[in-house]
Amino acid sequence: MKNDQGEALRSASSGRSKANLSLVDLQRILFKHRFMVLSILAASLIISFIYAKTRVRLYEASATAEIDRSRADSMQLGGGFFGYEDPDTALQTEMYRLTGDALIFRAAGELGVEHKGPFPDAFKGVSLPITDDSLPSEQRLNIINTIKGRTTVSVVPKTNAIRIEYLDPDPVVARDFVNKLLTVYTIRNMEDKVYISQQSAAMLAPQLQELLDHMSNAQRALAQYEGEHKFIGNDASDTTDTSGSNLNVTQLKALNDQLSAAQADQMVKKARLQLVESTNPENLYSVAPTPALQSLRSQLETAKAKLTELRTKYGSGYPAVHELEMQIPEIEKEITAESNNVKRRVQEDYDTSSSTVRSVQERMDEQLQQISKLNEGAAQHALLREDAEASRDLYNALELKLKESSVTAAFSAAAISVIDHAVVKPTAVVPNVRRMVLTGGLLGLILAVFLVLGLEALDDTIETSEDIEASSGLHSLGAIPHFEPQPELVDGIPSESVAPGRLVTLNAKDSIAAEAFRAIRSAILLSDVDSPKKCILITSSLMAEGKSTLSSNLAVALAQRGARVLLVDTDLRRGTLGSIFELGDSLPGLSNILGRLDEGHPYLHPIASLPTLTFLPTGIKVPNPAELLASNRMASLMAEWRENYDHVVLDGAPVLMVSDSLPIAAMSDGVLLVARSGTTRKAAFERSRALLSRSNATILGAVVNDVDLRLEHYYTYSNKTYGYGEYGKNGKAYGSPYGSVYGADRKEKK
């Protein structure tokens, strides 16, 4: 039944320990490893500070400019049909052009030729204009990538303005590059527009010549007709004598105006169709810059640049090169498909314009037939005159637009206007020492927290009474705090021995440690009021875990109540109670009684300062302590002690190191199992509990020794340091000189 209760308690405690980590638990863990946390935090702060101070100082130059896409080209070859373009997409396109490889390389090159800019030495001996072939491909890519890594282009919220920022170790270089980039962008826009204007003029020149020839022929035909029919007036009213003829001529003039406008629109759209059908893709891009086509062209340029870079660095066999070689044809296929869509839409627009021209022409022909019926001569004259005037007007309008195109293209190309030029800033923006130190400290703190949580998860040692209950299922009867034994005063002078200082219940009655021992005494007495436990064995898993200190102080605490107490040192291999009470280690004792040796000597030694406490030492060293302690003689002695004393406290040997304590545990009324905080492993403690349970021992509970009470959830105190000293000074291991029962070379713990 008792074992079942222990299992239930252990299961419940284990469930609680594996639950979510509370803030109190986290505080306890951080306090436990506070020196490690503080060390890591300090190291991270120092490293961050040194790193920030040793980084290259970078200065930022920034300029703000407005991008206005509404300024279309002067001949409107790209407007109207593509007016649906999203403003945000257009702004993003211009931002991408600003950071394009060509513009960046050109800006850096023009500054380099002037011995300025980020790379003045790279452009020594290079002359203007800067082209892609001005430097070797690898060097060009390195310059572009370096500048791109320092350049940032962003949109000013809720405006058409953009901000260009550039970082450089030299503030003057940063300013010059930003301003040069804006200048190159403006010039490049102008060059593109002028080029398109020139291409348009070249496309329209043959049609203008045809118009000129037609106009000349029409004027000659009109003059010849007027001469033959002797027309003198210049207006239609001068050449007709009926009101119906005047009305028809007026309508004919209106239709002729519509036809001229439709034919002019048809010519413009025909020129646009010829541009998109030309073999030069730049014409298609300039006439019809759809967002999809712009995006695909940008992807193609980026992929080709990346392919050139990877081929230069790694060769054609690099996997990324093969991937790009497969990706580029796919992009080109998409560009071809999108270009075909654009051409189809331009063709449809031209077909619509042509249909309009035919429709107006048909109406005009009908009107001419009506005029012909009314007045053949007047109609013929009006026709010739209107044809001549329309040809002249159309020719003059197109010639004027063609002449203005080169000038207006330059104005319309200025799609960017600078709001704020870049200036020299005296303060570096990188590194931000304060931010880097705070960030480093935060990362160091996070690392420290995760590290201590990991160490805590890997730590298998018992720290608190809660660990005892969670790992073994035993009730914790108390926690003994960490304390430092003080030398006993002899005539006001500290003695050389600190062994009596471990008897805090006798020499420091008002201390926290003494109160902890008295609390354990009360827990034992109240554990079973109806059947008090007279004979109690105190043992531990391994050596140096404080069982002798607990035994001696518990015996003193019981005796201070006026009860008759017998303290027996049953650790026949390495008993230390004699030195604690300053009685020596050579007195005859338990081994003499069990072995019936030197029966003439007294075995029981009353403690002078506490008359109700009697001490029985270990006696002489014997080769067979386990057999003596398991003998019937030992059982008889324990029965006799129960009759003669109110309480019998047995200080036993460690359970895992020797089996001496197991038979005594079975013969005792109860067993206290001691664990030392930060030393005893949970597996060892559980193994000790299992051995005692299999020996039919009644385990009253567990005691955690050498505890930092600040780790206990229920207690906070101002502690004093505690030291155990050596566990036994007369040998390096249990069992000496009888062999390495515990391990002959095991070091003493303090």
CATH number at residue 678: 3.40.50.300
Biggest CA-to-CA distance, the chain: 176
**Cα 702–Cα 706–Cα 712 angle in degrees, nearest 5:** 75
C-alpha pair distances (Å), 635 with each of 631, 641, 664: 7, 10, 8
The mean per-residue pLDDT over the stretch 374-403 comes to: 68
Residue 405, judged by CB atoms within 10 A of its CB (0-12, 13-18, 19+), counts as buried
Query: Quick one: which of 542, 566, 572 has its CA closest to 727?
Result: 542
Regarding whether 664 and 629 lie in a shared domain, the answer is yes
- Say how far apart CA 679 and CA 463 lie, in whole Å: 8
The percent of residues above 70 in pLDDT, for the chain, comes to 77
**Looking at the domain assignment, is residue 746 inside a domain?**
no
Regarding whether 75 and 42 lie in a shared domain, the answer is no
The predicted pLDDT at position 123 comes to 85
**Looking at the domain assignment, is residue 12 inside a domain?**
no
Work out the pLDDT band at 382, boundaries 50, 70, 90.
low
* pLDDT digits 0-9 by tens, 105-157: 888 888 888 888 888 888 888 888 888 788 888 888 898 898 888 888 888 88
**Looking at the domain assignment, is residue 504 inside a domain?**
yes
C-alpha pair distances (Å), 310 with each of 100, 307, 624: 19, 5, 81
Instruction: With a cut of 70, say whether residue 83 has pLDDT above it.
Output: no
CB 149 within 8 A of CB 106: no
- Say how far apart CA 749 and CA 630 lie, in whole Å: 29
* pLDDT digits 0-9 by tens, 472-530: 888 888 888 888 765 555 555 555 544 556 888 888 888 888 898 999 999 888 877 77
Per-chain mean pLDDT for the chain:
77
The mean per-residue pLDDT over the stretch 415-444 comes to: 84
| Residues whose CB falls within 8 Å of the CB of residue 37, separated by 6 or more in sequence, listed in order | 30, 445, 448, 449, 452
- Please state which of the ranges 92-106, 232-246, 569-583 shows the lowest mean pLDDT: 232-246
The predicted pLDDT at position 407 comes to 58
> Which sign does the torsion angle of CA 234, 238, 239, 243 carry?
positive
Regarding whether 699 and 554 lie in a shared domain, the answer is yes
455 pairs with which residues across the strands?
A: none
| Residues whose CB falls within 8 Å of the CB of residue 626, separated by 6 or more in sequence, listed in order | 658, 659, 660, 663
Tokens describing residue 538: 């105190």
The residue among 243 and 272 whose pLDDT is bigger is: 272
**Looking at the domain assignment, is residue 608 inside a domain?**
yes
- Say how far apart CA 331 and CA 292 lie, in whole Å: 12
For 346, the domain range is 61-420
Instruction: With a cut of 50, say whether residue 264 has pLDDT above it.
Output: yes
Work out the pLDDT band at 326, boundaries 50, 70, 90.
confident
Give me the number of domains the chain comprises: 3
C-alpha pair distances (Å), 292 with each of 58, 83, 274, 318: 38, 14, 22, 30
- Say how far apart CA 141 and CA 139 lie, in whole Å: 5
CB 697 within 8 A of CB 665: yes
Regarding whether 537 and 436 lie in a shared domain, the answer is no
Tokens describing residue 344: 């189809």
* pLDDT digits 0-9 by tens, 632-688: 999 999 999 999 999 999 999 999 999 899 999 999 999 999 999 888 888 889 999
Instruction: With a cut of 60, say whether residue 722 has pLDDT above it.
Output: no
**Looking at the domain assignment, is residue 737 inside a domain?**
no
**Cis peptide preceding 329, ω within 30 of 0:** no
C-alpha pair distances (Å), 596 with each of 161, 599, 606: 107, 6, 21
Regarding whether 310 and 194 lie in a shared domain, the answer is yes
**Looking at the domain assignment, is residue 507 inside a domain?**
yes
Regarding whether 70 and 44 lie in a shared domain, the answer is no
* pLDDT digits 0-9 by tens, 594-627: 887 766 567 888 988 888 999 999 988 888 898 9
The predicted pLDDT at position 281 comes to 65
Regarding whether 399 and 448 lie in a shared domain, the answer is no
The mean per-residue pLDDT over the stretch 579-606 comes to: 81
Regarding whether 191 and 170 lie in a shared domain, the answer is yes
* pLDDT digits 0-9 by tens, 440-463: 999 999 998 989 888 877 878 888
The predicted pLDDT at position 410 comes to 53
The predicted pLDDT at position 700 comes to 92
pTM: 0.50
- Say how far apart CA 518 and CA 512 lie, in whole Å: 10
**Looking at the domain assignment, is residue 744 inside a domain?**
no
The predicted pLDDT at position 323 comes to 83
The predicted pLDDT at position 535 comes to 94
Instruction: With a cut of 50, say whether residue 73 has pLDDT above it.
Output: no
C-alpha pair distances (Å), 578 with each of 517, 563, 614, 729: 20, 21, 12, 12
SS (H, E, C) 666-729: HHCCEEEEEEECCCCEHHHHHHHHHHHHHCCCCEEEEEEEEECHHHCCCCCCCCCCCCCCCCCC
- Say how far apart CA 566 and CA 575 lie, in whole Å: 16
- Say how far apart CA 524 and CA 544 lie, in whole Å: 23
Regarding whether 112 and 46 lie in a shared domain, the answer is no
The CA radius of gyration of the chain, in Å to the nearest whole number, is: 53
Regarding whether 678 and 529 lie in a shared domain, the answer is yes
- Say how far apart CA 246 and CA 248 lie, in whole Å: 6
Helices (H), ranges, 116-170: 137-150
- Please state which of the ranges 2-6, 223-227, 511-515, 689-693 shows the lowest mean pLDDT: 2-6
Tokens describing residue 373: 């019926």
**Looking at the domain assignment, is residue 17 inside a domain?**
no
For residue 163, the surrounding DSSP H or E stretch is strand 161-168
Instruction: With a cut of 70, say whether residue 216 has pLDDT above it.
Output: yes
- Please state which of the ranges 256-270, 451-465, 676-690, 727-741 shows the lowest mean pLDDT: 727-741
The mean per-residue pLDDT over the stretch 45-68 comes to: 86
For residue 651, the surrounding DSSP H or E stretch is strand 647-651
Regarding whether 101 and 32 lie in a shared domain, the answer is no
CB 617 within 8 A of CB 569: yes
Instruction: With a cut of 70, say whether residue 734 has pLDDT above it.
Output: no
Regarding whether 277 and 143 lie in a shared domain, the answer is yes
